[in-house]
Amino acid sequence: MTGAKHLFIPGPTNVPERVRMAMNVPMEDIRAPDFPELTLPLFEDLKKVFRTETGRAFIFPSSGTGAWEAALSNTLSPGDKVIVSSIGVFSMLWAKMSRDLGLEVIEYDEEWGDAFPLERLAEDLAADKDKAIKAVLVCQNETTTGVVSDVAGVRRLLDAHDHPAMLYVDGVSSIGSIDFRMDDWGVDLAVTGSQKGFMLPTGLGIIAVSQKALEASKTAGLKRSYFSFDWHAPLNDQGFFPYTPATVMLRGLREALNMIFEEGLENIFARHTRIAGGVRAAVSAWGLQTCAKRPEIQSDTVTTVMLPEGIDGNAVILNAYNRYNCSFGKGLLRLDGKAFRIGHLGYMDEGLALTGLGLAELAMIDAGVDIVPGSGVGAAVSHYSRAQSELRLAA
């Protein structure tokens, strides 16, 4: 098949040419005296993306899942009680990892398409007179369902109940794309990966850690080695790592951060909101629904499109891939065969989004979905045109 491969999954996302070329370098000496000239600014600039002045950043050769394990294993002890809300596959996996590590998990099994249930959390915090709950784990953006949860709302509840539990946030598909404020929201550990908002290939697990969490790591009893903060921190302070880092990825991260700062975080968040609005306009024009139960919790990085009864979501995925050289995300677990996911995060603009929507129409029509050809694309064009007019007026 001729032409480019079209990638509209929620991750890995498209890698800009600037970033790819920055990684096209010879191997280098990871103990060289000038290596810290690369690494020390990376740690500081990552803090700017997480929006923390008081915390510190760690970079691990892993996926975001490795950063999950680093967050848990460094700061908790066997038998510690944690709250997790299962609102999709990825929050479910965080609950599973917590159990695997020997933690006691209070799992909120919520309807998929809904957000973290603040009401249930308020009840549990009020009932926890002995302050036995040690952590609350929130998936800011559940990639399965295209739903955003209110991280700031969780912090407000913790503060209102004067509760010392630490706040952990899975920001794998949100940080660098959706508004995130580590210090303002009192987040203790925030995890992400390189392959989404950072516009890199998969391979880096990135974590930001508050001073409170760093202090907790001194007495935490869970076993850790590869991900040990104590092992990394002293060497990171000098610009080095306790084992071989992913040097090529670090070069790419440098260029990705340059691009992020050139555009500006607020502009990036606004762009994601604008692009997502066009995608949602398309879904509405098709006569379909998103998985998100309410408009205010719809994600700006991924849209999960629910398909009509009798339509196989996997057929839509296969049509897109086999006939149109295009990848969309499949419906996962409870949504298998019932939905498909359009990723619109990272290196994404109106042109790319319109390409994805046009190919989605082709794949759905081929699978038997009764939509008017061009309806979704037209609705998105109207949305983007209005948004650009508003931007020009504001300027």
Question: How many residues in the chain?
Answer: 395
Task: Check whether 386 has a pLDDT greater than 80.
Answer: yes
Residue 3 above 90 pLDDT?
no
Question: HSE (CB half, 13 Å, CA atoms) of 3?
Answer: 10
- CA–CA distance, 355 with 369 (Å, rounded to integer): 19
- Identify the residue whose tokens are 């991900």: 227
Q: Is the predicted pLDDT of residue 389 greater than 80, yes or no?
A: yes
Distance CA 185, CA 290 (A): 28
Per-residue model confidence (pLDDT) at position 1: 61
Task: Express each pLDDT in 70-82 by its tens digit.
Answer: 999 999 999 999 9
Tokens representing 180?
């995130």
How is residue 275 written in tokens?
A: 């692009």
CA triple 33-34-39, angle to 5 deg: 115
Does domain 17-262 bear CATH number 3.40.640.10? Answer: yes
Q: Is the torsion defined by CA of 178, 181, 187, 188 positive or negative? A: positive
- Global confidence as pTM: 0.96
Assess whether the previous peptide bond of 308 is cis (omega < 30° from 0): no
* pLDDT band of 393, cuts 50, 70, 90: confident
- Whether the per-residue pLDDT at 105 is higher than 90: the answer is yes
Sheet containing 133-139: give its strands across.
Answer: 56-61, 204-209, 189-193, 166-170, 133-139, 81-86, 104-109
Strand partners, 170: 139, 191
Q: Tell me the pLDDT band of 33, cut-offs 50, 70 and 90.
A: very high
Domain boundaries of the chain, sorted by first residue: 17-262, 264-394
Number of H helices, E strands in the chain: 13, 14
Q: Please name the fold of domain 264-394.
A: Aspartate Aminotransferase, domain 1 (3.90.1150)
Distance CA 379, CA 353 (A): 12
User: How far from each other are the two terminal CA atoms of the chain, in whole angstroms?
Assistant: 43
Q: Check pLDDT > 80 for residue 395.
A: no
